[in-house]
Amino acid sequence: MLGPPLAWMLIFYLAALAVLFVSAFWSIDAFTGKLTHAWTLTNFDTILHSSTYHQIAFRTIWMAVAVTLTDALIAFPFAYYMARVAPPRMRTILFVLVLLPLWSSYLARIYAWRLILNQDGALNWSLAKVGLPEQSWAFTNTAMWIVFSYIWLPFMILPVYAALERIPDSFIEASRDLGGRNWTTFRRVIVPLALPGLAAGSIFTFSLTLGDYITPTLVGNVDFIGNVIYRNVLGLTNNLPFAAAYATVPLIVMAVYLTLAKRLGAFEAL
């Protein structure tokens, strides 16, 4: 039973990843653009010693962290309301309201934000109506932070909701009976039990931010890891080895992240 799915993943995915990783140790001939199969560490050397590539990597990771934290903060109270306060009918409605954006085009939603944040966009129009000064976040890192947080929010809400809903009422009652105040119950019972859900959601928000190159192109004005990889794959030099080498940065970051997330029980809560 396990054979076919494992074979599929092995042939199409792990093999592809392995090819990628191996090619990171090759290079291309600058003159002909042809792949040279000699083993070399040039690509890693460039990445390790170029301040530009450091800057891009740190910027991307930093953004992924910021987006993950933001989404966790936005999602938790929402999921809590959905799971433990809202009546069943309301819960269904909220569920559909969270799921539907996932179905509508990711590109169109990013683009909609561009229209909102524009100088003459809907946001400044609204700010002017209520007499607030206008913002100029369009094409800044702030814009990217807002849009990333927006785009990946449902991916955080759903696992957190699932984790919160699973907490038996009796646990909370027990905590209260034992004299736990609301805050104590929250801190000592609810948060620890919701943690696997938060960790599961953060896998999505973190990795999706790490690998996106379209959002930075559409609403930002600086390169992310994804942009560098994309350009090296589709640029003149078609420098796949370098792209592969740079792709090991998010690969390593995610390996570390997944290991941590697994400790927190994220895999059970996915």
Positions 59 through 88 that interact with another protein (CB under 8 A): 74, 77-78, 80-82, 84-86
What b/e string do you get for 37-69 counting C-beta neighbours within 10 Å, with b at 16 or more?
A: eeeeeebeeebeeeeebeebbebbbebbebbbe
**Distance (Å, whole) CA 266 – CA 32:** 47
Range list of H helices, 9-134? 15-23, 42-49, 51-80, 88-103, 106-117, 122-129
Which residue of 67, 203, 205, 245 would you call a contact of another protein, by CB under 8 A?
203
87 exposed, middle or buried (CB, 10 Å; 0-12, 13-18, 19+)?
A: exposed
Secondary structure (3-state) at 36? strand
Of the candidates 69, 109, 141, 195, which one interacts with another protein according to CB under 8 A?
109
User: In this chain, which of 41, 115, 127, 191 binds another protein, going by CB under 8 A?
Assistant: 115
Closest CA to 247 of 216, 213, 200: 213
In the region spanning residues 132 to 151, those forming contacts with another protein, defined by CB under 8 A, are 136, 138-139, 150
Minimum CB–partner distance for residue 164 and another protein (Å):
10
Q: Tell me if 4 contacts another protein by CB under 8 A.
A: yes
| Near another protein by CB under 8 A: residue from 27, 70, 205, 207 | 207
Asked if 230 contacts 213 with a C-beta cutoff of 8 angstroms, the reply is yes
Q: In the block, which residue shows the tokens 């290991």?
A: 259
Question: Smallest distance, Å, CB 242 to another protein?
Answer: 11
Q: Least distance in Å: CB of 178 to another protein?
A: 16
Considering only residues 17 through 56, tell me which ones interact with another protein, judged by CB under 8 A: 17-23, 28, 30, 32-35, 37, 52, 55-56
Residues contacting another protein: total by CB under 8 A: 123
Using CB under 8 A, pick the residue from 47, 63, 144, 153 that binds another protein. Answer: 153
User: Which CB, 23 or 68, lies closer to another protein?
Assistant: 23
